[in-house]
Structure 1
């Protein structure tokens, strides 16, 4: 009889981009893979892989307490129906709700993927402080199952969660990101012409989108010749999303190129010279891993997750968070020095080969599953 592996994740497209390789690796090891998440266009691709899909009434905003309780009850019923050997919870709400539900269900082993601590830990003010207290209590409940491993992508998130959740350090596992397909993301020489600077992310304030636009304006005012591409779309379910009004204004200003959502990042990075991500905090950003694999120099912020995705001053530069001028200064250094870009890009490719190959990441996940199976 096949072992059952159940993924619970917020969004089907996120599952495909960040956990598909792990699921396929588990499938080759004999697991029957199930995926539970909100409905969406990417569900068809999940089913095409031979995975069984389960629809969940997930809302990332979560402002209706009754709906949130209903979601947790739905997860609990699903766990009782499937009785999974391994329950793999990905992103914050599945970790919290699924972790609590698993304590009262026949689940043999639980894996929680802590890939960044979310908007609530970046926000300021009294409301955010109270919310953090509530979430901290929730983590204590969610991570309390005996047969559990929590995967972290950077040491800052690990240490913070260990301190606030009571999680035993022996249950914490470090895996650097979601990996990258090194045969798809290849390093080729930079294109000729005006240097192209890319930021690929959901259009959220805490991704540093506003600082990127401001840095582009600063460089334009200095007469620095380059193209600035913003790749991604707004996220209406996220309180940090930029607005359509802002996007319309940026388009009118004409300083940056707005490419919208794209699924051909490898092609876009191959056509670029520099990749930037001035984020406020991350788990370990996949986009910087992809930039390294493509052999592109990086400018990112000196914050948890981002600084863990590069070798500072070797594969890219770190700048202070929320500092558009510092971002502009380091981008200008790279824009004006193609030899430095090339050296950093080559070092980035070596980093990707050493630390970020998808095969290595899949192997590490399967090892975690094996650890849980060996615990009686």
Structure 2
């Protein structure tokens, strides 16, 4: 299977990308050359269908973050590493004496340059360094090298930005362009290709949706037709509700549309999804996600995957809720406290996310999305089995009862 990768970089970088992949018949390149990195976001709006995106560096990638949020393909950037800097310094030394103290250089990460200087035992010899920030101004960077050359009588400038190389060349200032190293490029493109293949595997997985139609109005039932269209799903009416058979990729694509988001809000708490290796397992996972939403009184929609991890779809948090316990410690806690796997999963993420190890019932209630009374019941179960300890009290007001302060007493990492 061939992978089409969109390349965003200077014209020179795009040409080198073609040279680097001449022997890689499984890779197709689609080139998007720019003059300066800040042009990358506008170029992204002209992106043709592809499997992955590779940027020449962090500057065009960071500038494109907002646009990338709506593009459902993996994207990475070529990091400036020690190999790139060392190769460039070696190339300079082959043409003239390498005098670091007579050099100006701009880099994306000063720590990478300092690591190279330490490795070659440069001692106190240091070039004039400019660290490129995401909001750098091209004219300021040109001025940095120009001033360094004129005022400090330096004999060479080294730049990571091709547009700066062109400007300094026009001004007659001796300049070297940071060299793109083939091995680093191939590592980056292999990485993005692997991510593309993984995403294809994930998006092609069977998925099922279920819409609880027991309390839906006639108007809301019409929404099922629109949902089926947006999900590219086969829709059937069953005893459990209205079922949608589709793929995980179709769900991800639908999530990007305002129409789906509006419909999902209309049927809040009644729509859930599941994925699995078979239609049956996907349907069962969707039913489990629906029961969780209705039991916990969470709006959703959620998707329960084949690993029994529950993901919120409209407001992704980055962390999933475990609906089954496979860790021996958590299995023991579940048995002794009668707490559900979902609650234990949330307790574990609560312990990981807290800035302090100590918490109150209000803190826990806020994290679990439940009332304080429900959080207190959970704490009592933990206390009775010694999976939590009372460590003190806090008094936030002059009047009223002090609030107990607790600590979890089980591994959360």
Query: TM-score when scaled to structure 1?
Result: 0.32
Structure number with greater Rg is: 2
How does the TM-score come out when normalised to structure 2?
0.29
Which protein has greater RCO, CA pairs closer than 8 Å, 6+ apart? 1
